[in-house]
Structure 1
Amino acid sequence: MKITVLLENTKLKNSDLTVEHGISLFIEKNGYKILFDTGGPQGSAMKNATKLGIDLSRVDAVVISHGHNDHTGGLLKFFQINDKAPVYLKKEALCSYYSKRPDGNKYIGIDTRITERYLKRLHFVDKALKLSSNIFIVPHIHKEFPIPYSNRVLFEKINGKFVRDDFNHELFMVIENNNGLTIFSGCGHSGIKNIINTAKEVFPGKNISTVIGGFHLQAGVNTFAAAKKEEIEEMAEWISLEGIDNVYTGHCTGERGFELMIPILKDKLKKIYTGMKIIK
């Protein structure tokens, strides 16, 4: 399996790739090509794919982790490049989502032009789905543990009223490799511990070797809504006890969250960046 990070908030100093707040991963497994999330609304992930020599017209499927525009922002551009690949997401991802900022509420949901123009390309997932050999989408996350503290600034607008987002629009993807399962999480709004636990329930007896994605330890590019030090350290300790060999994280994990996890996870922890390639 080969993973290319088309977009993350950061890049190497000498890189000519474009960055913005968001995440997008291009995954190749046994000839099957997946785009996991599409990055932010500036379309940086699509631009970077071209620079990296990746032909998105050959993508077989798109998986959208949840309905925020830092994960769905590249969809309109993708549809112009690729006229066949189905897009898998939860129907709740089309609801109206907002982030509470110091200067007011900001809409962060899916661009409404997507449903107006490309509704037939959207495939709603309401139960565990096998995409291809050893590739699965899991749409229901059992929330046994508390969800991230930084979620408190995220809302859904229902009948004109803002209510706290319950993140029922979030899903995750699992790929089974020779060395175990790899979990792909967009932001982990439902809690990365809950995602890992759910994967254990869906795939009993299977070893989880790798986790890739954001852990939502801070809201957006700001730190006005960030996880407490104790929450981050406890989460890292729990992951360590689970025996997971590799943790690739970035985006909404934030620099502070990453630094606090290093002393606990040590060399198991790796920071993703735009243009990074991972071979599993």
Structure 2
Amino acid sequence: MTKLPPGFTHELPQHLQQHNHGVFDEQKEVPVLDFDRFCCRAHGFSALIETWQDSEGPSQLTLFDTGPDSLSLARNADAMNIPVERIDRVVISHWHSDHTGGLLSFLRLRSARSINVPPSCVVDVHPDRPIARGIAPGPGYDSVICALPPDPTFAAIEKASGRVEAHAEGHCVAADTVYVSGGIPRVTEYEVGILGGMRWVEGAGKPEQRGKWIKDGLITDERYVAIDVIGKGLVIFSACSHAGIVNVVKDAVECFKRPIYMIIGGLHLAGPEFGPRIPMTVDFLSSKLKPSPMYILPMHCSGFQAKVALEAEFGEGCVPAGVGIKIDVVGDSEADKTVFPPTY
């Protein structure tokens, strides 16, 4: 119910516009909402990106990550009337199961609805898929207390009608409207990954590491997605920002020489070990980056303290977003003449 800026739409009015949720009360002449068909949130990230090169041409649908489980994404796609059969590419940001857990169920759902379209869907991944990843809490960050659920294997993806494309380098997809980054350069001193990140090693690597957990805090397989909107600048999707959102933004600016218009996703600033990074991150985004972003949508792993700090600097430009929210970013070719490369 929070007031949203222009171009942002809550879930409820979208259901009312679709006229297919719940029943219509003939006596009262109003629709009755069906909360069983509203979206369900989960601890993960997934965003559907729809892009156009021009208003007359067809749009491209790209799914960025798939959430943590086999139920949420399929339910939410149905709740929002998403034409899943039109999604021809899934981009996986990195190999963590809270971002890959819904992949196989999505592919099966898409295959079941793909009667008149090619059954296969490209699954765009980083080639370095770990066998398993685990969590080692502080203060020592060296004793694994649990493993994350396994990410889908390449074989399982192919079996579910996915066509694996492994990319370690940056590349453009969706008719060149969406940029998928390569590895993110680590240039800041304070964004040092996740201290308790661990990886299980078998059969490969150094002999002394085989059959053991090794430190894997940098998550070097992480990638972000960027869209350059004419007249606005870059819309950045950073699903978890293990590399650090400042490193992400710096890489995007270096690649495109364009201002940052909007940042969407997890900033990974939740938890006591990340607290010291919050002031430096907020200071960079609000003061050092010129121009600063128009909107920041901190989600997933961003943490409450980071959201409070961002709201203090950006005001209504820090938007509370989550499942069911729709955002329209409309380009303007005339305004683009006044958009200059950012500095920091």
Smaller-chain TM-score range? 0.7 to 0.9
The structure number with the bigger radius of gyration is 2
Matched to 1:74, the amino acid is G
1:24 equivalent in structure 2? 46
Residue correspondences, number: 264
The answer for the alignment partner of 2:282 in structure 1 is: 236
After superposition, what is the alpha-carbon deviation per residue over 1:41-68, rounded to whole angstroms, capped at 9, x for unaligned?
A: 2431221110111121210211111100
Report % sequence identity.
Answer: 25
Residue pair 1:98, 1:155 contacting (<8 A) in 2 also: yes
Name stretches of at least 5 consecutive residues in structure 1 with no aligned partner: 7-13
Q: 1:3 to 1:127 in 2, by over 3 A?
A: farther
The one of 114, 121, 130 aligned to 2:172: 130
User: After the TM superposition, which parts of structure 1 deviate over 6 Å for at least 4 consecutive aligned residues?
Assistant: 2-6
Report the Cα offset of residue 16 of structure 1.
3.1
Q: Take 2:94 and 2:8, find their aligned partners in 1: how far apart are those partners?
A: 20
* Distance apart, 1:149 and its partner CA: 6.4
Matched, 1:155 2:198: yes
**TM-score with structure 1 setting the length:** 0.86
In 2, the alpha carbon distance for the partners of 1:3 and 1:263 equals 20
Tell me the distance in 2 between the aligned counterparts of 1:65 and 1:195.
12
Show CA shifts across 1:23-42 (max 9, x none). Answer: 11011111000100000124
Correspondence 1:255 to 2:307: no
Is it true that 1:199 corresponds to 2:252 in the alignment?
A: yes
Cα displacement string for residues 179-230 of structure 1 (whole angstroms, at most 9, x for unaligned residues): 11111111000000001111112112x2221111101112xxxx4x5412x4
Alpha-carbon distance change, 226 to 262 in structure 1, aligned in 2, over 3 angstroms: farther
Give the TM-score, by structure 2 length: 0.71
Structure 1 residue 264 displacement after superposition: 1.9
Q: Is the aligned partner of 1:168 residue 2:168?
A: no
Distance 1:66 1:146 in 2: 22
> Which of residues 91, 110, 125 is equivalent to 1:63?
91
CA deviation after TM superposition for structure 1 residue 115, in Å: 2.5
Aligned mates of 2:86, 2:191 — CA distance in 1: 36
Q: State how far apart, in whole Å, the 2-side matches of 1:234 and 1:275 are.
A: 31
> Are 1:215 and 2:215 matched, yes or no?
no
The 10-residue stretch of structure 1 (145-154 or 245-254) with the greater mean CA deviation from structure 2: 145-154
Long gaps (5+) in structure 2: 1-6, 12-34, 53-58, 111-118, 202-209, 330-344
What SS does the aligned partner of 2:327 have?
Answer: strand
Query: Residue 271 of structure 1: which of 320, 325, 328 is its match?
Result: 320
Q: Contact 1:215–1:253 at 8 Å: present in 2 too?
A: yes
Equivalent position amino acid for 2:236 in 1: I
Q: Which residue of 1 aligns with 2:295?
A: 246
Alignment check: 8 A CA contact 2:135 2:146 kept: yes
Pairs within 5 Å for 1:28-43: 28-30=50-52, 31-43=59-71
Q: What amino acid maps onto 1:127 in structure 2?
A: E
Higher strand share: 1
What is the letter of the counterpart of residue 229 of structure 2?
N
